[in-house]
Amino acid sequence: MVKAIEWINGKVVMLDQSKLPLEVSYIECTDYHKVAEGIRKLWIRGAPAIGIAAAMGIAMAAQDINAKNVRDIEKGLEPVFSEMLMTRPTAVNIKWAVNRMKNSIRRMKDSNPATVKEMLIEEAKNILNEDIEVNKAIGKWGAEFIKDGDTILTHCNAGALATGGYGTATAPMLIAKQQGKRIHVFADETRPVLQGARLTSWELMQEGIPVTLITDNTAGALMKKGEINLAIVGTDRTVRNGDVANKIGTYTVAVLCKENKIPFYVAAPLSSIDFSLKSGNEIPIEERAPEEVTHISGKCQIAPNGVNVRNIAFDVTPYKYITAIITEKGAFRAQDIKYLMKKNIDLNKIRLNSS
Ligand code: MRU
């Protein structure tokens, strides 16, 4: 399975997703600025993957800090935390990864700096490895919603490329295939950066999952013809009331699903749930450069010089359109996500009976 990011000999190595599928090439980041640049420029993208990249960037930066004690490491990392947090605003995973790295340092405040530096490398690797396990668990729960012969719509890329491995939205598809279910996936091309065309279709073809690429405006027509049974997408941030921010166009897919009585599922690792926000209106939404819209892959111009452009990278799908949110702990009604904040909750009481 394709790997979006790895820690190799003290360096962060990322697959350059901006070049896929035409070229498979890797970028070796030898300092944290390069990691941040990779996140900003979408060499690495997808909420969990950019969280992992941020953690690895922090671990790498820590190695160069001249520290007499743990406080020196914390202080030396402050600009690194800030730079990572400023890369992309919508995915909560960067904030989550920064907090996790900060907390791991605080827990070791009386240790010697060399031990803490080693620990930070291990913590970043743990974040990656745990993500893979989380995605497998999402896959197990999500596969219960997939029947033999289903056709599944997905939007953007929430596959292995967007994570440590396995993907979130694609994990249920991979497990369903392993279970012997015959499935077919429709991948929205996902204008303007074409994550569906360039990444999801490429990834699923490699996994031997039959996939058909469609333009974003085709999904409704296929639903109306009865050619789509369910939709599964990823999320960059899910909030307390169950609203979900994901790639622009996700809201349209959800509304179309409701209109056509098609279940709409969101695959969401718990790390992408932001319990500090009450509703989707509070999620910061990234707007990107106009050139992503006026040019294809930065090369071929398709709009007049100087045209006004809005390039909103994410939208918010209100909870009422979501059939279930699939996490590593099970699938829940979107409006029940808030209960996961509570400790010692009986998950079986709020988990959807997915069978
Ligand atoms: O702009 P991108 O490519 O980072 O957007 C990615 C998405 O919208 C994904 O669906 C989301 O991050 C979930 S990835 C498991």
Each residue of 151-199: pLDDT tens digit? 999 999 999 999 999 999 999 999 999 999 999 999 999 999 999 999 9
CA distance to 88, 195, 201, per residue, from 160 (Å)? 20, 12, 12
| Average pLDDT estimate for 310-315 | 98
Q: How far apart are CA 41 and CA 202, in angstroms?
A: 20
Closest residue CA from atom 8 of ligand 1: 247
Ligand 1 centroid to Cα of residue 280, in Å, is 16
What is residue 355's predicted lDDT score, i.e. its pLDDT?
Answer: 46
**Ligand 1 closest atom vs CA 199:** 3
H-helix segments, the chain: 32-40, 47-63, 70-87, 93-106, 113-143, 171-178, 195, 201-206, 219-224, 250-259, 291-294, 347-350
Each residue of 255-304: pLDDT tens digit? 999 999 999 999 999 999 999 999 999 999 999 999 999 999 888 999 99
Domain ranges of the chain: 5-135, 141-352
Q: How far apart are CA 86 and CA 94, in angstroms?
A: 9
Q: Would you state the structure tokens that stand for residue 198, as one six-digit string?
A: 């360039």
**CATH code given to domain 5-135:** 1.20.120.420
Record the pTM: 0.97
CA distance to 91, 280, 317, 345, per residue, from 271 (Å)? 10, 16, 19, 18
Closest residue CA from atom 10 of ligand 1: 234
| Average pLDDT estimate for 210-215 | 98
Ligand 1 centroid to Cα of residue 236, in Å, is 6
Q: Is the CB of 168 under 6 A from ligand 1?
A: yes
Q: 141-352, what's its fold? A: Rossmann fold (3.40.50)
3-state secondary structure of 255: helix
Give the confidence band of 343 by pLDDT, cuts at 50, 70, 90. confident
